[in-house]
Amino acid sequence: MDFRPSQEQQVLRRTVREFAEAEIAPHALAWDEAQHFPHEIVPRLAALGLLGIQFPEQYGGAQMSAIDYCICIEELARVDPSIALLVAAHNGLGAAQIAMFGTEAQKARFLAPLARGEMLAAWGLTEPTAGSDAAGTRTVAVRDGDQWVIDGAKTFITHGSVGGVMVVMAVTDRTRGSRGISAFIVPHGTPGMRPGKKENKLGLRASDTSEVVFEACRVPADHLLGELGQGFVNAMQVLDAGRTGIAALSVGLAQGAYEAALRYSKERRQFGQPIASFQAIQWKLADLATRIEAARWLTYRAAYLKDRGARTSRESSMAKLYASETAVRAAEEGVQIHGGYGFTKDYPAEKFFRDVKLMTIGEGTSEIQRLVIARQLLA
């Protein structure tokens, strides 16, 4: 296996890094403080192909590899995890399920404008009473002639109030358990669909997260996505790939926190010398650099296997588990190295510290990742 990035991947990394540092970094703190979703950055992300990274060119996508996708997410997260989440949730969840299981007509109507960045995708699996127990979905869809009528609510939905289209999981046959859950494409503005409470979050505050409510929401029969009763199964397949994206986001966040701590350790002087000269700080930095590199290669391995069409349930869960917990440690040590200044908004350490916690929760908690891994090992 060749561990060297291709010339094209080196150019991609440099391009996304320069964009993030020039277009995102100057505004990240202000967006976070105001809980402002930066609509203004979306066309610029689209112009770089970042809203259709892996989708086929025939639908307006950039048709890059899974490793390329990880590089993009990583470089965005290094500067602002909120924007990385915008890109990862759009590409890796809602739009991904349409790309993987949609009909040609559905792809032409919905995937194409999503890949071009003309609208953002939302993905509706989580509910107030169905988090880790995703199969406990209570939202229902009932067939009425040539329409489906959806009733229920989804919670913690990225792009819940700004998305142009949402993929919604709903029960179509209660007697069949998880095999009675189907997926539907619901365009924003459909009567009976409305955003609910916007979440006031600890971190990732520039990312739009809200409840979405469905009250007698009618969609045409041809908005069924995939086969009837296969929505939950398909959603789990989407998560296999999506977790690799969250692993990449964790790696980028960890890298950003580490670089901020490294930079500060060289600037901050105590006892007449930079604190980087003290072994206690050096060991922290050495441990972080090692863990981040290990997390990066676990993530790239999962992406490598995905590019080759292999099933990646175990590998993506391993990558997500290790990378997310590494990111938590990097953010915590970043604050520690900054000392009292790490507790203020004058330095980036505190924002990384707030942003990182979602990494061990979103798209499956660390506990769920360990469960997935164990089941694969014992199968």
> Is 203 found in the same domain as 324?
no
> Is 358 found in the same domain as 254?
yes
> Is 370 found in the same domain as 267?
yes
Arithmetic mean of pLDDT, 90-100: 97
CATH of the domain at 328: 1.20.140.10
> Is 143 found in the same domain as 82?
no
Give the active site residues.
Answer: 363
> Is 259 found in the same domain as 201?
no
Q: End-to-end alpha-carbon separation of the chain, Å?
A: 28
Task: Give the pLDDT of residue 1.
Answer: 64
From 194, 229, 264, the end of a domain falls on: 229
CATH of the domain at 140: 2.40.110.10
Task: Give the pLDDT of residue 104.
Answer: 97
> Is 291 found in the same domain as 255?
yes
> Is 303 found in the same domain as 222?
no
From 203, 229, 255, the end of a domain falls on: 229
Span 335-358, pLDDT tens digits: 999 999 999 999 999 999 999 999
Q: For the whole model, what pTM was predicted?
A: 0.95
Does the residue 262 lie in any domain?
yes
> Is 243 found in the same domain as 225?
no
> Is 274 found in the same domain as 244?
yes
Residue, of 298 and 130, whose pLDDT is higher: 298
From 115, 148, 179, the end of a domain falls on: 115
> Is 32 found in the same domain as 127?
no
In 3D space, the residue among 137, 123, 146, 136 whose CA is nearest the CA of residue 170 turns out to be 137
> Is 153 found in the same domain as 64?
no
Task: Give the pLDDT of residue 295.
Answer: 98
Arithmetic mean of pLDDT, 168-173: 97
| Residue 29, domain extent | 7-115
> Is 166 found in the same domain as 51?
no
Span 47-59, pLDDT tens digits: 999 999 999 999 9
Per the structure, the count of domains in the chain is 3
Does the residue 2 lie in any domain?
no
